[in-house]
Amino acid sequence: MSRLQEKDEPRIGVYVCHCGTNIAGVVDVGDVAKYAAALPNVVVARDYLYMCSAPAQAMITDDIKEHELNRVVVASCSPRMHEPTFRKVCEEAGLNSYLFEMANIREHCSWVHSREPKKATEKAKDLVKMAVARTRFLEKLPRKEVGVTIRALVIGAGVSGLRAALDLAQRGFEVYLVEKAPAIGGRTAQLGEVFPTGEMALDILRPMIKALASSQRIRLFTNSEVEAIDGFIGNFKVKVVVNPRYVTNECDACRKCEKACPITAPNDFDFGLSQRKAIYLPFEEAMPRTHVIDSRTCTRCGECVEVCERKAVDLEEKPMKFEVDVGTIIVATGYDPYEPPEGEYGYKTYNNVITLPQLERLTDENGPTKGQLPLSGSAPKSVVFITCVGSRQEAGIYKPIKADQQLNRYCSRVCCTAALKNCVEIRKKYPNARVFYLYRDIRTYGKGYEDYYRKASESRVLFLRYRPEEPPSVSAGPGGLIVTVRDVLTQNETLAIPADLVVLNVGLVPRADASDIQAKLKIARSVDGFFQEAHAKLRPVDTPLDGIFLAGTAQGPKDITESSAMGSAAAAKAAIPLARGKVEVEPIVAVVDEDICKGCGRCEEVCEYNAIKVEEVQPLVKVPMLVARVTEAQCKGCGSCVVTCPIGAIAMKHFTSKQIQAMITAALGG
């Protein structure tokens, strides 16, 4: 360890990264390094092609030892990307990792000022100067460890949630699996044949369901919701509500209750294409294979109670609440298919305009029509697919049907392949039917996915390309529907296509209750509404909140293969603190000066992580007082409390007023 680490006089090393040409293509990094060498307390300053590379890391380590550096500044990319890398370098060289500072001269200079290299270079110098000024006032921060509850929670029992729970259980950890629906399987259970293997979706689920049923380590709660979450990594307290099914485990799914029930309602599992009773089995192979009563439609007539020989119906059942302690949490809450507003491409205006998920149910042998497409009692003669419905909705090009409609600018990624798979299936089942595929672009990414485009072409599916500025229109015709499209592939010729069936290739959107889930978990969502990962490349399943991980389509559009893989990845990350039995917590936290604090509670109100509580204390004068106290393991160092405190009783470690003032003074030329 550097013997000068404890001394007051800073000895600073500055390292400027070329980042290939990302920075050096605009910023004169050599000039920046030369400038840094002349700054006060800078002992050594260097530039290098890639500071994150192994040779550069070794160079920093050697310099710390040779020049007895007690502070390090790296001027390179965003701290979000490589700050952990350089902190680790400092630690390995014997230097406290919080005596390190990073200046972002890529995103803040070269990328945003690419046409002004001289100004970008001067700005880079200023940023390095500010970083050096702050570094002089950095202090050692000790890392702390907290114990971990050796148990995990998985929210959502679709493919990714099931995979995550099973992987954790196989590693020997106890898992609570909470599913909002009355049966597990998620959206996958609603599918028929899936790509790229051609398997039936239920064939994919069956082995997972069998493994779940035989596992002694997984406790499954269906028809349940997470009500509240408190705590921090290793020590989460989760309140779960088990909503009443009104049917006990004595149910043997004999279906007598369904036959006796006089109430019908649209079947959500079939996307409204069929009807079900108020008491129903979610689907034929549902787990648990137990009926459930829809309290929204049930009239409490008691007919089901009368016919149930096993006395399994309990109309007086109440919600059950309980609290569990877990160390890590995996969010696998899934997605919703885009629901077009009434009138978009004739949806809900004409009965024979359906969405792709509805088509999946119709073509499934276990679906409401046993795999057939009956339209007025006859097979379809003409089927038209319209793609990018609910995806790639660019402002100024896409014309919303509703004034307050949310625009989904992203590509949903799986829709093209799913639609082409259905095109091929329809051509096989109805060889005399003409199938038209109206598209903006075709994006069949993934191993083997391009084969579906080839098979569709070989099956004589007719491809017509439209411009987003001139989307197809659907109107009533003499014998059915007329789809009008201006086809780019035929020199903008306008075609009117008679259609017995129009299929809207809808995208994937965040869950309708995503805002509610976000509020409970305190995790961020990206601009597209899906939950935000900590880093797209380096931490794709982590969230900014330690101990909470993402799996599957909760994070964004994915297919079954990707969702399953992400479930395994999330389980692997969630298992690390469980296996260690303890975790290090970030020491950059708020601290309260209790001699000044008046206990007003404003800091508690603004804390998004519930890390501050106003408590009553009994000082020596035995007069009760209120003061704010910080649970350090729960604090994320956001600083909201610091700026809210009216009397300055709260400070932030590693971002002290002295450090910030030094940066401001340096920026202003001081």
Query: What would you report as the CA-atom Rg of the chain, rounded to the nearest whole angstrom?
Result: 30
Pairing of strands 462-465, 473-476: unpaired
- The number of helix segments (H) and strand segments (E) in the chain equals 16, 32
pLDDT given at position 81: 86
How far apart CA 599 and CA 86 sit, in angstroms, is 39
Q: What's the average model confidence in pLDDT over 318-327? A: 96
H or E element, residue 501: strand 501-506
Share of the chain above pLDDT 90, in %: 85
User: Measuring CA to CA, which residue among 320, 148, 324, 317 is closest to residue 219?
Assistant: 324
Pairing of strands 335-337, 328-331: unpaired
pLDDT given at position 636: 86
How far apart CA 392 and CA 338 sit, in angstroms, is 12
Count CA atoms within 13 Å of residue 62 on its CB side.
7
Torsion of CA 525, 531, 534, 537, to 10 degrees: -120
DSSP three-state, residue 503: strand
H or E element, residue 566: helix 560-580
Give yes or no for residue 3 having a pLDDT over 50. no
* Structural contact between residues 370 and 421, judged by C-beta atoms closer than 8 angstroms: no
pLDDT: is 44 or 448 the higher one?
44
Residues 108-167 have pLDDT tens digits of 999 999 999 999 999 999 999 999 999 999 999 998 888 999 999 999 999 999 999 999
Would you tell me how many other CB atoms lie within 10 Å of the CB of residue 164?
Answer: 35
Pairing of strands 12-17, 71-76: parallel
pTM for the whole thing?
Answer: 0.85
How far apart CA 7 and CA 277 sit, in angstroms, is 77
Residues 458-485 have pLDDT tens digits of 999 999 999 999 999 999 988 889 999 9
* Structural contact between residues 562 and 159, judged by C-beta atoms closer than 8 angstroms: no
In which band, very low, low, confident or very high, does the pLDDT at 7 lie, cut at 50, 70 and 90? low
Task: Report CA torsion sign: 271, 275, 280, 286.
Answer: negative
pLDDT given at position 535: 85
**Residue 387 CA from chain centroid, whole number:** 24
pLDDT given at position 91: 94
Ranges assigned E (strand) in 318-397:
320-326, 328-331, 335-337, 353-355, 382-389
In which band, very low, low, confident or very high, does the pLDDT at 544 lie, cut at 50, 70 and 90? confident
pLDDT given at position 4: 46
In which band, very low, low, confident or very high, does the pLDDT at 13 lie, cut at 50, 70 and 90? very high
Residues 577-602 have pLDDT tens digits of 999 999 988 899 999 999 899 999 99
Residue 89 structure tokens: 């370098």
DSSP three-state, residue 235: strand
User: Measuring CA to CA, which residue among 506, 544, 559 is closest to residue 387?
Assistant: 506
Q: What's the average model confidence in pLDDT over 542-546? A: 89
In which band, very low, low, confident or very high, does the pLDDT at 2 lie, cut at 50, 70 and 90? very low
Q: Is 111 exposed, middle or buried (0-12, 13-18, 19+ CB in 10 A)?
A: middle
Residue ranges of alpha helices (H) inside 351-476 are 356-363, 415-429, 450-458
Torsion of CA 448, 452, 458, 464, to 10 degrees: -130
DSSP three-state, residue 660: helix
In which band, very low, low, confident or very high, does the pLDDT at 536 lie, cut at 50, 70 and 90? confident
User: Measuring CA to CA, which residue among 303, 325, 326 is closest to residue 315?
Assistant: 303
Residues 504-516 have pLDDT tens digits of 999 999 999 999 9
Task: Report CA torsion sign: 395, 398, 400, 406.
Answer: negative
* Structural contact between residues 625 and 616, judged by C-beta atoms closer than 8 angstroms: yes
pLDDT: is 271 or 4 the higher one?
271
Residues 48-82 have pLDDT tens digits of 999 999 999 999 999 999 999 999 999 999 998 89
User: Measuring CA to CA, which residue among 187, 184, 192 is closest to residue 165?
Assistant: 184
Give yes or no for residue 376 having a pLDDT over 80. no
The residue with tokens 């419905």 is 389
pLDDT given at position 617: 81
Pairing of strands 292-293, 279-280: antiparallel
Q: What's the average model confidence in pLDDT over 621-649? A: 88
* Average per-residue pLDDT for the chain: 93
**Residue 254 CA from chain centroid, whole number:** 39
Residue 619 structure tokens: 């000082």
Residue 360 structure tokens: 């999946």
pLDDT: is 379 or 417 the higher one?
417
DSSP three-state, residue 241: strand
Residues 109-123 have pLDDT tens digits of 999 999 999 999 999
pLDDT given at position 108: 96
